[in-house]
Structure formats: C-alpha cells, structure tokens
A and B are shown apart, each in its own frame.
Chain A
C-alpha cells in the first residue's frame, strides 16, 4: 500500500473523470458521481497523515519507476509539506463540487470532468519528485483552470482566462528553460539528484543565479507576488465559484510550494543571497494588497486582493529561513486554503441569490440570513488571524520568524494585522450590517442544507487547526528543518562575512544568564 497510495490519491480523480465522460448526460447523476469520486480521493488521502511517521524528515510513500527513456521517471513522494498540501486539495475539491451543485447547470459533464482532471494535476504538482513530471503536472493545471474560467465564468471571462493563461504560461517558460539546462548538465530530472548536484558545487554561481531566477519567476507569478499579481483579481472575479475556491485554495499554493521546494530547497545559497529584495516584495505585497483590498467595491475582488496580502506572509516566512517562519509559512498555506476557500464559497452563495458581487447591493444581510452571517463571520475571523482560529497560528509563527531574521521585517509584516482587520471588518460591515438598502434583500433566503453541509467542514477545520496545531507541526516541522538546513548555513555564512563588531551596549540587550 505504501508504494501505491500516492498514485491512487493522484489518479483517482482522473480515473473518475474518465468514468464521468462515459456516463449519460444526467446532471443529477453526474453531480453525485463527481462528489463520490472526490470523496473517495479524500478518503484515500487520509491514509497519508495516519501512516506518516512523525519527527521524520525525507520523503515517504515513494514510488520511482522509469517512464520515458531512462532519465524521465515516474517518481512521487511526500514529506510533511507536500502531504498536507495534498490533503488540502482533496479536502477542497468535494466542497467545490458541492458549491457547484446548482450554480452549474450548463455543460455539467464537462465541468466536473475538468474539475477532476484539475485535481489530479494539482496533487501531482505537490507529489512529483521528478522535475519533468513536475513540469507536466504544473502545465496540466493550466488548461482545465483556464477552461473553467473561460467556459463557466461571468461577463469578462474570456479576457480573464486569457490573461491568466498568458501570465502563468509565459512565466513557466523560464522554469522550463531552467529544468532543461539542469538536465543537459546532469542527464537527470530527479529532484534529490539535482539537489545534491547543486549542493556539491558543480555549477558556477552565475549559472545558479539564473536557474534560481528561472524557477522564481514561474512561482512568483503563481503566488502571486507583487508586482506580478494583476491577473489574480480578474481571474477571481470572472471565475465560477469552484474555480475561485481551487484557484485561491490550491493553485496559489503551488507557487509558494515551488518557492520552498525548489528555490530554497535546491538553491539555498542563491535563496539567501536574494532574500533581501524578495522579502521587500513580500512585505509590499502584504501592505499593498491589504490597502487595495480596502477600497474595492466588489466582494470577490476584495477577497482576491486579500490573497495577495496573505500570500505575502507566506513568502516572507519562507525567505526568513527560520524554523518558526517557514513552519508558519507552510501552516499559512493550509490556513489560507481553508479560510479563503471558505470566503469564496460564501461569496458564491450570495452570488447565486443576487447575481452581483457589488457591495452597494448589500447591507444588513445579517437580519434575513443569520446562519450565512455566522459562517461568514467565522471565515472572516479566521482570515483576520483571531487566536484559537487557524489563521493566527501561521501568522504568528511567520512574523515571529521574520522578526528573528530582521526586526524590521517582523515589524512591517505585523502591521498587516491592522490592515487585515481594516479591510475584512469593512467588508463584513458592508455586507451584513447597517440598514437593509434593497427592499428585495429583506426576503433573501438563508442557507439551505446542502450549503450548510459544504460549510461545516471548513468551519470545523478553522477551529481544529487553531487549537491543535502541534498535530500538523509534528510532520511539517522536520520537513521544514530538512529544507532549511542548507539555507540557514548559507545565511549564517553570508552574515559572518558582513559581521560588524557588536556594539558595547549589547550587554544590556543580551539575556541575563543566557538561559534559553
């Protein structure tokens, strides 16, 4: 089982997609089938955390078979980071199916087929340990997502789909070039081999810098890191609800996952050398994203910009190379998937009723829709980073790590807690509080059973992940330590070169007794 479990988790959705294609065009049947398939994939993925050894670094459940020629392998494996991102994916897809239950009534079969293919591709990205395989999965996510936006989106869907496609496609080319270069040098696509090859100092530092940038640009667009983020608001506003949930919930994490796995994991020295400007961009993203979110007149656009801000935290955490910062970044990836996924689901539910995301159409909705308002509040509070909910754990660790790295990073990053409260509470007020401005809003129906069922898992996860984070950390922590080991050495070496004699007053600053 151990050897085949990752293959099963990855390809059950794709196999399900084929089954779906063969089924008759009965929308009801198709919906149930899609739900069932995604739940089976989720059930299989549960196997991973149960059997993942704690406090253990390195990849588990590996499968390594020759695939094309003898250099391209079918090589999958999971460590504490990729495992949880896989679970995030399998967790969100059934919910995406549920929120599409009624909102998709045209070309239902194609919709769910695309959704399931997308799931396979996303999981593959997280689990692939062969760079060729990784690239195939990476590009494979593009087409179903672009089609989901382009075929099932709102008015400007084609523009948004093309923009999304072009942006990420162009950026991916640089990564492809980097992968090919590495292959030409080493005749290998294997992650561990290439990593060792780079660490052993086989490449000139100039070449490594180019490789680093090649990977970086592909991932930075996906994250998206400021200033490469402008595809995101358009894509989100136009995408159907399920598309937004998976786009924000999973696709963006592919970017941050790539940064961690490849940019930091494979090129630790270059990561350390480039961390300065990357962190500046991340912090600009945190503040800028929040400020722009603050003035959006449109619910979905606001959530989209909030993602720019939240993902800034993740990038900041990754490029501090501290244990706390990177642990927090990984946790924040999961948190953002859960809570922003929830926000998009909620936005979709109100869209189904009102067919608009504009705030001016809302106000006072807490009166006709108390259950909806409560779920929305939980999602908002999770995003705000309220302690005992999931968002706080990640945010706190990221900022604490950033502060240990450079105080100013921590301070500027922490200002994000103020901005976050501003735009999220502003949003909540515009939708739910104040007088009801539209007469027809007084009779809006509250959430039905299906909608509540799709939200309960998220609400429960928000609380559980906020209260028992050590359960996740016991597998995330060692995986992060493994990736960071090299980069921390590089950072220390770089710092040592620029070391200045400690100022005299440091006797006051240093802890008494030195106990730690």
Chain B
C-alpha cells in the first residue's frame, strides 16, 4: 500500500483552489472566465476522483488510508489530515464530484443574469472542497471539518440574495439548527476520545469490533445516539428538519446540489460510516429507524399541501432522507447508500428541472400559476417526467430499485418490523401522489401565469396566512430571477438542458446496478459495499457466511423466498400507482375537487398547510423565552440591576465617606491617576523598607 500513493488530498484541494481564485480575483473577471475556473477545477476533481477510484480498486486491500501532517494535537491526542478510501467513500466521492460537476455546468446558464456571479461559483467550489473532505476524511474530526464547512457554504448560498430578509433569515436558521446537531456530534466525539483515545476510523472501529453487542444502554449506544442526533441536523430529520424547507431561498442549483443531492446526505453517510458502532447497539438502531420512519411520512404529508414548487421538492427531500434513515435503522446501510445515490440523481434532476421551469416562466414558483407547460418547454417536461417516475418508484426507473430494497429490508431484517414497513409503503403512495400533483399542476391544464387566481382568492378568505405565503413565494420568485421578467415562456439553453439529460439517463438506469437477486440481478451494489459493512458487523458465525449473496447485510437472515419478495415489490408499486391515480383524478381529471376536499377537512388541511405549526411552536417554546430571559432577566436584571447596582452603590457609599473621591467622579482622571501613583509609591516604599530592615 505504501508503494503507490494516490494523493487523495488532491480531490478536495482542487475545488478549493478554484474557490480561492474566484473568491480573490473573480470580481475582476468576466463571467466566462469565472465559469471556466469553476468548471475546470470541479472537472479536474471529478477526473482525479475517477482515477483514484480505479487505482484504489486495482490496489485491492481496501480501505486505503493516507495519513498526512497532524492537524490538532494535545498531550496524547492527535488528529491528522488523513484520507480514507474504501467502497463507501468511492461511491460518495463519485456522486459528489459527478453530480456536482453537472450542477456547475447548469449553473453557468441559470445564474448568467444574476449579480455576484463570481461569488456564487466561489461558494459552490468551496462547498465541493468541504463536502469532499467530509467523505474522504479518515477520522471523525476531519469529517467534522467538512461537516461544519458544508454548513458554512450552505449558509452563504442560502443567503446569496442577502438583501432579502427572508434569505438572510433562512441562511442563519440553517446554520444555527445545524449547530444544534453539531453540538451532539461534538459530545459524541468527546466520548470517543475519552474511551478510545483517538478519532481515527481504523483505530476506533478496530476497538469497537472487539466489543460485544450491547443489550442495554451502554457506551456504544450513547455514542451512536449522539452521532445520530448530529445527523438529524445535517440530514434534516425530525426534530431538526425545519431549516431545509426555508433553505429554498437559495438559488435553485444550490437547492439541487446542497439541499438535495449531497450535503443533506452527509448524515446518512456518517451513520453508514459508523455502522460498526450502530450495529452493536440495537436501541440506537431502533431510534434511528423510528425517526426515519416518522420523518418520511410526516414530511410527505406536508409535501402534499405545498404550492411552491421548490418547497414541495424540499419536503420530498426530507421525506426521502427519512427513508435512508429508516434503512440505516434496520442495519440496511448499503440500501441506504443505494437510495442516497439514486436520490442524488433524480432529486438533482427534479430541482434543476424545476429551476428550468422557473427560468422559463420568469421566476414564478407558485404551481397554482403554472400549468400547460408540457408543450411550451418539452425538453424540461420530458426530464421532469423521468424524474417523477423515478422518485415515485415506478419500475424500471432508478428510484424503484433503491426504495424497494429499503422496504424489503425493513420488512425482513431482524431490526425491522411490519409496522415500519406499512408506514414506508403508505409514504411511497403519498410520495407518488404529491410528485404527480406537482407534475400535473405544472405541465397540464392551462397556464395561469399573470391571471387572477380565483381559487387562491377563496383560499385567502379562509386563511390569511396561506395567502401571505403565496404572495411571499410570488414576490421572491421575481426577486430571484428578475432578469427574466420578459413574460414569454421559453425553453432553457443547452448549457442547462445538457446536464438535465445526463441526469435523466442516470435516473432511468441508475438503479440497474442494484437489481436484486430475485429479479435475476446480482445486487452488485450491495455486494460492492459489503466489505465496508462486513468489517463492522458484530461477529456471529452464521451471519458471516451469508454475506456474499445477501445484499451486504451480514446480520440479516435473508429468506430465500422470491414469492414474498415479488409480493413486497408488487405492493410498493401498487401504492405508487394508487398515488398516481389520485393525483391524476384530483389535478388533471377534476381540478375543482381538491378545493372541495380541503373545504371539508379544513382544520386538518390548515394544520398540514402550516406545517403542523412546528416553526411557530419552536419560536414560542425556545426562541421567544430565550430572548426574553436574556433581555429582561440577565441583561437588564442581573447585569445592570444587581451587579452594577452593587458596584455603583459601593461607589456612592465610598463617595459619601471620602469627600476627596468626589473630585474623581467629576471627571478629573489625571488627579485620580496621581492618587494611585502616590499609593503605589507608598506601597513600594514600604516593601523596600521591609527588604532593607531584614
């Protein structure tokens, strides 16, 4: 291993150079030069990553570990700049650089008319640097560098249109909510240091592999839960998901890259990376599964009521990340990563497609003002259809295979349960419903752009906040893309359509590398990742033998029961078709129906529309009391009232005793200094006298 160094540090460093060049000098560049620099370094990073992966596979003997100079050290503890290449980081690095590069290309077209072009690409490259550090690190501390760094890039990009309060608010919210998760991640690292003395993966996992599975709540469970809570921040799970929908304030390519395809999957990656720890803690797995399941269905219901096209996709992302969490929770890590990958393809495609729609109609994001775009922007329509089929889980599109893999594992894994599976299937139906709702509202019916929406007026009468939301979406849509306010619907340029086509292809065929055995495939994806998970799995002789054919889930006793597996797959497809049918019925066949239904279940509808009032609840429970406490009790009360009261009181008291002191209060500081000097001289004289008299 030592003979051939892969210099993995090059992969993250290349985009950092790009970010540096554009950040420092981009102001003086023309747009073409800025995009050239940004694309060049991203492409170089992608190329290098492909080369490194090929070399790594040749080397065999994975994981390949590269340890560079020390970053932080104190006493016996030290953490290096070190990189780690195994099957898991290979998948991640290819997804990040590949999808990242496509989105960079797309952005050249999408951002062409925006101010701050260089700033945008500098941030985007910076994001790539941190994300690649995150997935390539060989220790938790360096992973944390990427972890916080992508948070910074996200903060900067969400707040890209910083003159809008809503964008600035959303960026800040994202950073702070993520910090709450990071707090738990930090504590988890402290526990690791305390008990293992190191944060390096190989050393930690080696120690962990000698430990038994915990039946109760022990050290590993504590670590796993803390890491998981960190992941709920970055991967937008209950209870910390609230930042992601707001993050849609960022430009659409950002939503695609950071808030769909890559950054938000960091939590999934972290759990899969730590599978040795999680697999030894059934309790932690249980919590992960429940949180994932809850998030999946909860977010899906919210996605059903949103009218802003990007917000629908945001809730959809939260929901899909819930699936991945669920998969991790049943120890089906490779299924989670499989879905992570296919999701990166089709969700990036959905966001970029939505961006193309928004671009085409002059910045409008409210789906109630869209419609009939199928004929006007056919290429965009085509790719959106592919992506919608993929996310809905219609075979043979990519999403079908990965989602089916997860649901199958949830059903049959010893960590899974039927109840979780039922919720998963219902969520699949809801997913299909809200995605086809989006599809029909956008591409069928009549274009309502610029016309007064009577339906909306009716809503407005019932729900002022609702109308307000619509208005906000409207205005920010325009602010987002003012340059396109020329009113004519137009297809996007090729620089945007090209990446869409590539992603559409990937969304179609991307699942085929993981065709399960019962369908005649080899589940190549699962067996590719198997070594990563096998090495971390608790040792039990029966499990080990099943590894090669069993989807990389050494623990599970995979039933060789094709009938059952066909049945499960059939049920999830049926759920998707039912969802599709209702979407067709309500938003194509009979567009008046949704209003009647929402009128009937008005209370529930409003609750869901307002996202279950979670944001309001957090505000009422945490933010307001905290600010009140800080202002009234701490600042005005303790600081100015009690402490300064005492200090000033003491001052006043001494003033009334010693008349001389009054002169000092009158502002003659020089005379005061003289007094002090005199006092000091007296003290020194006394001490000299002490010294002499001895």
Contacts and interface: CB of A to CB of B under 8 A. Distances in A.
Given A292-B639, A403-B194, A418 B665 contact: no
Contacts of B630: 291-292, 294-295
B165 interface: yes
A334 to B, nearest CB: 14
Contacts of A415: 183
B172 A411 contact: no
B691 A388 contact: no
Interface string A55-79: 0000000000000111110000000
Interface residues of B, number: 83
Given A399-B190, A410-B190, A417-B182, A230 B168 contact: no
B583 to A, nearest CB: 39
Given A147-B673, A292-B639, 18 more contacts: A139-B676, A142-B676, A180-B690, A183-B690, A294-B627, A295-B630, A324-B77, A327-B75, A403-B190, A417-B186, A421-B179, A422-B176, A425-B172, A429-B168, A429-B169, A434-B163, A436-B163, A516-B197
Given A142-B676, A328-B74, A508-B216, A418 B193 contact: no
B643 interface: yes
Interface string B134-159: 00000001001100110010010001
A386 interface: yes
B74 A183 contact: no
Contact of B74 (A433, A477, A511): A477
Interface stretch (A163-171, A269-277, A491-499): A163-171
B635 interface: yes
Interface stretch (B65-73, B336-344, B380-388): B65-73
A150 B667 CA distance: 9
A387 interface: yes
Interface in A421-460: 421-422, 425-426, 429, 432-436
A509 B219 contact: yes
Contacts of A165: 669, 672, 676
A238 B584 CA distance: 68
Interface stretch (B100-108, B207-215, B509-517): B207-215
B190 A477 contact: no
B195 A367 contact: no
A68 B682 CA distance: 15
Contact of A386 (B152, B669, B683): B152
A404 interface: yes
A231 B651 CA distance: 13
A388 B72 CA distance: 10
Given A68-B691, A433-B163, A400 B193 contact: yes
16 contacts: A139-B676, A143-B677, A147-B670, A230-B640, A230-B643, A295-B627, A323-B76, A387-B141, A415-B183, A418-B179, A422-B176, A425-B155, A469-B71, A477-B73, A481-B75, A512-B208
Contact of B691 (A69, A435, A467): A69
A393 B142 CA distance: 12
A411 B189 CA distance: 12
A387 B148 contact: yes
Given A162-B669, A163-B647, A165-B672, A291 B626 contact: yes
Contacts of B168: 429, 433-434
B125 to A, nearest CB: 15
Contact of A146 (B149, B152, B673): B673
B461 interface: no
B145 to A, nearest CB: 4
Interface in A114-167: 132, 136, 139, 142-143, 146-147, 150-151, 158, 161-163, 165-167
A330 to B, nearest CB: 10
A388 B195 contact: no
Nearest to A484: B75
B626 A477 contact: no
A291 B633 CA distance: 11
Contacts of A292: 630, 634-635, 639
Interface string B518-535: 000000000000000000
Contacts of B691: 68-72, 187
Q: What 8 A-B pairs are tightest by C-beta distance, nearest first?
A: A323-B75, A433-B168, A69-B691, A508-B218, A403-B190, A512-B210, A387-B145, A516-B197
Contact of A327 (B74, B190, B667): B74
A136 B677 CA distance: 11
A230 B647 contact: yes
A163 B196 CA distance: 49
Interface of A: 68-72, 132, 136, 139, 142-143, 146-147, 150-151, 158, 161-163, 165-167, 169, 176, 180, 183-184, 187, 227, 230-231, 233, 288, 291-292, 294-296, 322-324, 327-328, 364, 366-367, 370, 381, 386-388, 392-393, 396-397, 399-401, 403-404, 410-411, 414-415, 417-418, 421-422, 425-426, 429, 432-436, 467-470, 473, 477, 481, 505, 508-513, 515-516
B609 interface: no
B670 to A, nearest CB: 8
B692 interface: yes
Contacts of A291: 626, 629-630, 634
B571 to A, nearest CB: 40
Contact of B194 (A68, A367, A404): A404
A429 B172 contact: yes
Nearest to B172: A425
Contacts of A227: 638, 643
A400 B626 CA distance: 27
Contact of A230 (B167, B195, B216, B639): B639
Contacts of A366: 162
Given A69-B691, A169-B676, A324 B165 contact: no
Given A291-B634, A386-B149, A508-B218, A417 B183 contact: yes
Interface in B529-583: none
B94 interface: no
A92 B163 CA distance: 34
Contact of B176 (A72, A421, A468): A421
B576 to A, nearest CB: 40
B635 A295 contact: yes
B692 A69 contact: yes
Contacts of B182: 417
Nearest to A411: B187
B26 to A, nearest CB: 11
Contacts of A513: 207, 210
Nearest to B644: A230
A165 B669 CA distance: 10
B423 interface: no
B207 A515 contact: yes
Interface centre among A176, A231, A328, A421 (most CB of B within 10 A): A421
Contacts of A180: 687, 690
A347 B563 CA distance: 71
